Every structure is written in C-alpha cells, then in structure tokens.
C-alpha cells in the first residue's frame, strides 16, 4: 500500500495544498466580520492564542497520524489500533466533511454567480439598496442558486478526478500564489483610501469589554474551521507527504500563513468599508451586498469586482477539494472503490446536501430542525460539534495512545530532522493536555452546559 500510493511531489506543492485547504471562505469571508464585531484586536489576540495552543498542536497530531501510516483517516487509526472502537471515530470526520461541503458549496455557488455578473458587467451601476435586493432575490431563487451550487461541485469534481498530483497539487500550485497576489493588491489599494485609518482601528483596536465566553467559543471555532483541523482532512493530505517532510515546521507555516491571510482580508475590507461610510457590521452579507457597491466607486469597477470574486472562488475551491479528498481517500481505501467512482459518489452526496442547503434560503426556509434551517444546522453540527470532537480525539490519540517510537520517528521525520526539546516538550504538552482540556471546556461553555 505504501509504495503505490500517491504523493505530493514538491515541497511547494505540500505547502500550497495544505495552505490551500486552510485558506478559504473562513479567512476571507468569516474572519473579518467576526473580528470586527467581537472586539477587533482583542478577538485577534484570542484567535492567535487558540491557533498556537490548540490549532497548531492538533495539526501536528493529524500530520503525525497521516504521514506515519500513509493511509486515509479511518485506515490510519485501524492500522495503529486494529479492531478497537477507535477506528470508527474518523468516520465522524467524513460526516463533517460532507456536511461542511453541503453549505460551503452553496456560498461558493453564489461566488460563481457573482463572478459571472462581475465579469459581464451585470453588477455595475446599481445603488447600495439594489445590491441588497439583488442578493436577497438571488439566494431565494431555487433554480439559480441550486444550479450554481451544482456547477461549483462539478468544477470541484473535475479537479479531484485528476488525482493527487495532477489535480490537487497542480491546481494549488497555480491558485495559491495568485490568491496572495490579488489579496496584496487589494490591501495596498485599500490602505491608500481616504479614512483607511478608521477601518484599521476597527479591526485592530483591542476592545476587551467585548470578550465574553461566547466570543472565546467563537474564536476557537473559527481557529478550527480556518485551519481545517478536526475532521482528518490534514491527516489525509499528510498521508501524501514523503518521509522527509518536516511536520512541525509545516504546521507552524500553515498556522502563520492562514492567520496572515485572515488579517490581510480584514485589511482589504475594512478601510474600504469605512472610507465609503458603509456599515462594517453587516456580517455575512458584507461580501455580497456592501463590497459590490464599493467597487463601483473605484476606477475600473469591472476589474476590481472580477478580481475579488476570483479571489474568493480560488480560496473556496482549494478548500472544498481538501474536504472532498478526505472522503474520497476513505471510499477508495476502505470501500475499495476506483478513484473515479469514489469521486462521483462524493460529488453525488454533496449535490444532494448542497441543494437542500441552498433551498433553505427559499422554498425550504420554513423547514427547521431545533430552530435552525438546514444550512445553519449543517454549519452548527460540523463546526461546533464534530470538529471539536475530532480535535479532542486526534490530540488524545497522539498524546496518549500511539507508541513513543512511532511518534519520535514522525516528529523527526525518521531521523532526517532534529527536534529540539524546546519545541518538542511544549508541543507534546499542548497535544496531551492543553488542547484536549481547553477544547472540552470551551465546548461545554458553547453548548451552555458550563457557564462562568
Ligand atoms: N479552512 C477552510 C476555510 O477557512 O474556509 C474550511 C475548511 C476546509 C474546513 C477543510 C475544514 C476542512 F477540512
């Protein structure tokens, strides 16, 4: 199994693919308004603490399992503790992947539609109110939004069908540098606008009075979602690393680049929002209602709006590819399917869930479970329950169950690299204690079982 398994061929491919998984709508769409509304710099400090003490250690744990076994998430655990109940745990991650794909591809479908409207000039020349109406009408139109969701999933399919090297690695190598380039151009443009300072202080000025237990829960959830940890996705990507890939170094690189992109996204958005006197607290609608009207005030609005939606499209595609790969690897290796069939099965499941989620903005908006539409329910169950449960499992498993030699071999890349005790000891302390205990505490607070 080890030898004929696919691998990423280049070092940049490894970073591009893993950072591509992490950098997505979570950074560009969700982080800026979460930070803006929840205390700016204070939220950022909390977020960075969660990334360093919980996120990166769980990334290392997933990397150790994936690269050490060269198997999909379920296969990895089965290999290490055959025949125990623990081998079933990664299936929760597969469930989380399809649920996230369900709602994520709806938003990605909106992005595709907005990209089309931007490029064809259909988005130009409206009033801010018209952008609001346009968005409302679009998301509640059952045909249009479901078609866009399906189209996005078919694009996702075509990349995945080509496999690990020719599909995933190749597309990540092309899209990630472009994404950074577009983001930096937007940031420079935004910083040059009149009144940019106000936007920067909205984003960075620490307002500690806004930090409540629920904001801490939000910061952890955001860190998990943004780093793609807890569902076995990075485990699956690590199973395509070669034996020399430095795991701890790569985990820190992902944490740093992912946080950098989230901050840059805020720098791109808020100065512009403030200099045009728009509301920064528009939340999720910000990207679809407020930004299009801002682009109209810039020279060459078609160019800016197209570049912006291309950026979002790239970011979402590299992330959905990684979630799908978590399932596909599992279908291929555990159910012995061909890659083609596994990719088709994953796409079919996602189309069904995606269509249901997309209809929850229109004809199915009154269908709720526990007061949540399917879109919100999938988001809640996956991000607030399944990812933290997965995080606890992977950190406890690596911290307490795997044997010492296996762990040391992985941390030192089979003796290729050195692992100083200054890094290893705090890292293992976080994997064994800090990450699982804090996740449990934050989780209980989030579910309202514990309160301060
Ligand atoms: N990290 C992605 C984002 O920030 O948009 C979302 C994501 C990708 C979550 C892959 C989970 C995952 F396995």
436 lines ligand 1 (CB under 6 A): no
pLDDT reported for residue 285: 76
Measure 413 CA to ligand 1 centroid, in angstroms: 26
Report d(CA 231, CA 62) in Å as an integer. Answer: 9
Report d(CA 241, CA 239) in Å as an integer. Answer: 6
- CA-nearest of 113, 387, 341 to 230 is 387
Q: Say if CB 109 and CB 148 are below 8 A apart.
A: yes
Q: Which atom of ligand 1 is nearest to the CA of 258?
A: 4
pLDDT reported for residue 440: 92
Question: Predicted confidence band at 4 (pLDDT cuts at 50, 70, 90)?
Answer: low
Q: Is the dihedral of CA 385, 285, 277, 28 positive or negative?
A: positive
105 lines ligand 1 (CB under 6 A): no
Q: Say if CB 105 and CB 266 are below 8 A apart.
A: no
Report d(CA 34, CA 9) in Å as an integer. Answer: 37
Measure 159 CA to ligand 1 centroid, in angstroms: 17
Higher pLDDT, 305 or 417: 305
Flag whether pLDDT at 99 surpasses 60: yes
Q: Are strands 372-373 and 368-369 parallel, antiparallel or unpaired?
A: antiparallel
The pair of three-digit structure tokens given for residue 224, joined into one six-digit string: 């998990």
Report CA 70 to chain centroid distance, whole Å.
23
- Helix, strand, coil percentages, rounded to 5, for the chain: 75, 0, 20
Residue 151 exposed, middle or buried by CB count within 10 Å (0-12, 13-18, 19+)? middle
Higher pLDDT, 78 or 296: 78
Question: Predicted confidence band at 218 (pLDDT cuts at 50, 70, 90)?
Answer: confident
Task: Give the list of residues 6+ apart from residue 174 with CB closer than 8 angstroms, or none.
Answer: none
Question: Predicted confidence band at 210 (pLDDT cuts at 50, 70, 90)?
Answer: confident
Measure 313 CA to ligand 1 centroid, in angstroms: 14
pTM for the whole structure: 0.94
Please choose from 111, 317, 318, 323 the residue to mutate so as to test ligand 1's pocket, defined by most ligand atoms within 8 A of CB: 323
- Average pLDDT of the segment spanning 374-383: 92
24 lines ligand 1 (CB under 6 A): yes
Task: Give the list of residues 6+ apart from residue 110 with CB closer than 8 angstroms, or none.
Answer: 138, 139, 145, 148, 288
* Residue 166 per-residue DSSP state: I
Please choose from 26, 94, 385 the residue to mutate so as to test ligand 1's pocket, defined by most ligand atoms within 8 A of CB: 26
Q: Say if CB 176 and CB 261 are below 8 A apart.
A: no
SS3 229: coil
Question: Predicted confidence band at 452 (pLDDT cuts at 50, 70, 90)?
Answer: low
Measure 322 CA to ligand 1 centroid, in angstroms: 8
Task: Give the list of residues 6+ apart from residue 439 with CB closer than 8 angstroms, or none.
Answer: 54, 220, 388, 391, 392, 395
94 lines ligand 1 (CB under 6 A): no
Q: What are phi and psi of 8, to 5 degrees?
A: -70, 140
Report d(CA 190, CA 208) in Å as an integer. Answer: 26
Flag whether pLDDT at 404 surpasses 80: yes
Flag whether pLDDT at 48 surpasses 70: yes
Flag whether pLDDT at 120 surpasses 80: yes
Alpha helices in 205-338 (DSSP H): 213-227, 233-238, 247-275, 291-295, 301-334
- Average pLDDT of the segment spanning 173-199: 91
Q: Which atom of ligand 1 is nearest to the CA of 234?
A: 13
316 lines ligand 1 (CB under 6 A): no
Flag whether pLDDT at 446 surpasses 80: no
pLDDT, the chain, mean: 91
Question: Predicted confidence band at 265 (pLDDT cuts at 50, 70, 90)?
Answer: very high
CA distances from 23 to 59, 177, 314 (A): 14, 12, 10
What is the tens place of the pLDDT at every residue in 335-348? 999 999 999 999 99
Q: Which atom of ligand 1 is nearest to the CA of 226?
A: 4
22 lines ligand 1 (CB under 6 A): yes
228 lines ligand 1 (CB under 6 A): yes
Question: Predicted confidence band at 234 (pLDDT cuts at 50, 70, 90)?
Answer: very high
Measure 193 CA to ligand 1 centroid, in angstroms: 31
233 lines ligand 1 (CB under 6 A): yes
The DSSP element (H or E) to which 105 belongs, if any, is helix 90-119
Q: Which atom of ligand 1 is nearest to the CA of 231?
A: 13
- Average pLDDT of the segment spanning 360-365: 89
Task: Give the list of residues 6+ apart from residue 134 with CB closer than 8 angstroms, or none.
Answer: 126
Measure 334 CA to ligand 1 centroid, in angstroms: 23
pLDDT reported for residue 211: 87
21 lines ligand 1 (CB under 6 A): yes
* Residue 167 per-residue DSSP state: I
- Which residues, in sequence order, are bridge partners of residue 372? 369
Report d(CA 401, CA 411) in Å as an integer. Answer: 16
Write out 328-356 in H/E/C secondary structure. HHHHHHHCCCCHHHHHHHHHHHHHHHHHH
Between the two ends of the chain, the Cα-to-Cα distance in Å is 50
pLDDT reported for residue 244: 92
User: Residues, the chain, total?
Assistant: 452
Please give the share of the chain, as a percent, with pLDDT higher than 90.
69
Flag whether pLDDT at 1 surpasses 60: no
Q: Which residue's CA lies nearest to atom 7 of ligand 1?
A: 228
Please choose from 93, 98, 228, 236 the residue to mutate so as to test ligand 1's pocket, defined by most ligand atoms within 8 A of CB: 228
Flag whether pLDDT at 2 surpasses 60: no
What is the tens place of the pLDDT at every residue in 15-35? 999 999 999 999 998 898 788
Measure 433 CA to ligand 1 centroid, in angstroms: 25
Report d(CA 386, CA 380) in Å as an integer. Answer: 9
């Amino acid at each position: 199994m080890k030898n004929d398994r696919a691998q990423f061929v280049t070092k940049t491919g490894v970073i591009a693919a893993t950072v591509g998984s992490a950098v997505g709508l979570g950074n560009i769409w969700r982080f800026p308004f979460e930070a803006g509304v929840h205390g700016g710099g204070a939220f950022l400090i909390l977020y960075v603490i969660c990334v360093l003490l919980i996120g990166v250690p769980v990334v290392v744990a997933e990397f150790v399992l994936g690269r050490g076994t060269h198997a999909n998430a379920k296969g990895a655990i089965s290999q290490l503790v055959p025949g125990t109940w623990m081998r079933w745990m990664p299936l929760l991650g597969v469930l989380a992947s399809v649920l996230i794909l369900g709602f994520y591809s709806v938003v990605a479908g909106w992005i595709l539609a907005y990209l089309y409207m931007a490029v064809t000039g259909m988005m130009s020349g409206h009033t801010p109110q018209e952008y609001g109406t346009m968005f409302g009408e679009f998301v509640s139109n059952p045909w249009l939004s479901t078609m866009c969701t399906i189209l996005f999933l078919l694009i996702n399919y075509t990349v995945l069908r080509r496999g690990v090297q020719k599909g995933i690695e190749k597309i990540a190598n092309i899209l990630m540098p472009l994404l950074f380039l577009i983001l930096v151009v937007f940031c420079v443009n935004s910083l040059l606008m009149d009144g940019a300072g106000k936007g920067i202080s909205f984003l960075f000025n620490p307002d500690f009075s806004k930090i409540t237990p629920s904001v801490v829960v939000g910061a952890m959830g955001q860190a998990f979602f943004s780093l793609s940890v807890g569902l076995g996705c990075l485990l699956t990507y690590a199973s395509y690393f070669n034996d020399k890939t430095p795991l701890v170094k790569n985990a820190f690189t992902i944490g740093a680049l992912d946080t950098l992109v989230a901050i840059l996204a805020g720098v791109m958005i808020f100065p512009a929002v403030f200099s045009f006197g728009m509301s920064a607290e528009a939340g999720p609608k910000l990207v679809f209602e407020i930004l299009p009207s801002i682009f109209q005030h810039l020279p060459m609005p078609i160019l800016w709006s197209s570049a912006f939606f291309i950026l979002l499209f790239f970011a979402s595609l590299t992330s959905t590819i990684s979630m799908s790969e978590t399932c596909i690897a599992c279908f291929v290796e555990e159910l012995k399917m061909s890659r083609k069939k596994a990719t088709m099965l994953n796409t079919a499941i996602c189309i069904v869930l995606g269509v249901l989620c997309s209809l929850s903005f229109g004809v199915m908006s009154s269908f709720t479970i526990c007061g949540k539409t399917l879109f919100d329910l999938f988001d809640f169950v996956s991000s607030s329950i399944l990812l933290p449960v997965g995080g606890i499992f992977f950190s406890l498993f690596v911290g307490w169950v795997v044997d010492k030699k296996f762990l040391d071999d992985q941390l030192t890349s089979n003796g290729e690299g050195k692992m100083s005790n200054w890094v290893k000891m705090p890292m293992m302390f976080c994997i064994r204690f800090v990450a699982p205990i804090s996740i449990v505490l934050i989780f209980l607070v989030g579910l309202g079982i514990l309160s301060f």
